[in-house]
Copies of this chain bind each other. A is one copy, B any other.
Amino acid sequence: MTYVSDPAAPRIAIAGATGAVGNTLIELISSRGLRHRGVRLAASARSAGRTVEVDGRAQVVEDLDGFDFTDVDLAFFSAGTSVSEKWARPAAAQGALVIDNTNAFRMDPDTPLVVPQVNADVLLAGRPASGIIANPNCSTIPLVRLLQTVEQRWGIRQVVVSTYQAASGQGQHGIAELREGSALALSDPDAELPADRFKPALAFNVVPFIDKLLDTGFTMEEQKMLQESRKILGLPHLDVTTTCVRVPVVNSHSEAVWIEATEPVDRAELVGRLAALPEVTVHDKDTPGGFPTPRTAGEPDHVHVGRIRVAPHNPRGFWLWLVADNVRIGAALNAVQIAEYVLDRGLL
């Protein structure tokens, strides 16, 4: 129980509380013992009135439409980009510090884009002009956590990433559609599969298309990884190019990452530096299995790295394979760690 009467503890609200990220926020607030003076829950009119347990107390879900943020100190938003576009600024204007999980404000110059392990220090400047702190995209977060040490030690010439992104990136409906489609395909190979969240259907397929197509021919998801990495790392010319692909995995994104450094890279030193990063697990030849996969990586609150190998023909080039829980590391945990940083330093 981390409900406290201490007036320094924040009053919290979660918009999108009934979703995949919202559920995990509730669980993490409890399991990590985040001190608070109450957690209010909001979602759409569809879920308003439902009861959800928070820190052992039954809590009624409210309609976000008409929700009053006047008595809220800290508001987590994870109800989709258009919902944040509509409600995050009003919530901030009513006094709440907003931690936003959507794409709505990530590139806004008045909004810091934060991965606590990488650039939390930008928060020391005090309350952002927008009243909002943005959480990066779920594929960007684990990547920049590894890139930072590479840049500092060897310099980065180029990063080429192919992603293997799980259905849960489309929330609970995404997971349901993958399960339903898979069951159908197993029972009837000619069945028409549901293709609402994923087009074409994701069951027993891979779909190289996430979010919308831009004029460059890249998708928005691919562009986010470039732009957000540059902003978080403070490297406006960083060269990151990506193909983003949805795969029929329930949860946890994977990425095959090729990095060309500016200096030759010693593998042993690279492994040592990655293993020393906070909340990172390196899987190597001596680990059972030797490499992480979405279903077997273990500790869900770590970024898992394996298949670390320097190219025999190019000592500046090396591959990493990373696996990270997109709902936790890529969203809810990152948001809660931002909150912890802000609260621990009295920055609210």
Residues of A within 8 A of B (CB): 160, 162, 164, 179, 182-183, 186, 199-201, 204-209, 213, 216-218, 239, 241, 243, 245, 247-250, 254, 256, 258, 267, 285, 289-291, 293-296, 306-314, 317, 319, 321
Contacts and interface: CB of A to CB of B under 8 A. Distances in A.
Given A216-B312, A217-B309, A295-B205, A245 B239 contact: no
8 contacts: A162-B256, A182-B204, A183-B186, A200-B295, A206-B249, A208-B254, A208-B256, A213-B290
B250 A204 contact: yes
Contact of A160 (B182, B217, B258, B293): B258
A334 to B, nearest CB: 22
Given A164-B247, A218-B309, 6 more contacts: A162-B256, A205-B294, A207-B293, A213-B285, A239-B314, A241-B258
Contacts of A162: 162, 243, 256
Contacts of A207: 293
Contacts of A200: 289, 293, 295-296
Given A160-B258, A258-B241, A206 B293 contact: yes
A88 B247 CA distance: 38
Contacts of A182: 182, 186, 204
The 4 residue pairs across chains A and B that have the minimum distance between CB atoms = A217-B309, A162-B162, A162-B256, A243-B256
Contact of A243 (B218, B248, B321): B321
Contacts of A204: 182, 248-250, 294-295
Contacts of A291: 208-209
A267 B248 CA distance: 31
A89 B209 CA distance: 46
Given A249-B206, A254-B206, A295 B164 contact: no
Nearest to A288: B200
Contacts of A267: 217
Contacts of A248: 204, 247-249
Nearest to A189: B250
Given A183-B186, A285-B213, A312-B216, A164 B241 contact: no
A195 to B, nearest CB: 10
A245 B249 contact: no
Nearest to A257: B243
A200 to B, nearest CB: 5
Contact of A311 (B241, B308, B314): B241
A149 B25 CA distance: 51
Contacts of A258: 160, 241, 243, 258
A296 B310 CA distance: 36
Contacts of A293: 200, 205-208
Given A182-B182, A258-B160, A243 B205 contact: no
A313 B206 contact: no
A222 to B, nearest CB: 9
A241 B319 contact: yes
A175 to B, nearest CB: 10
Contacts of A296: 200, 205
Nearest to A296: B200
B239 A313 contact: yes
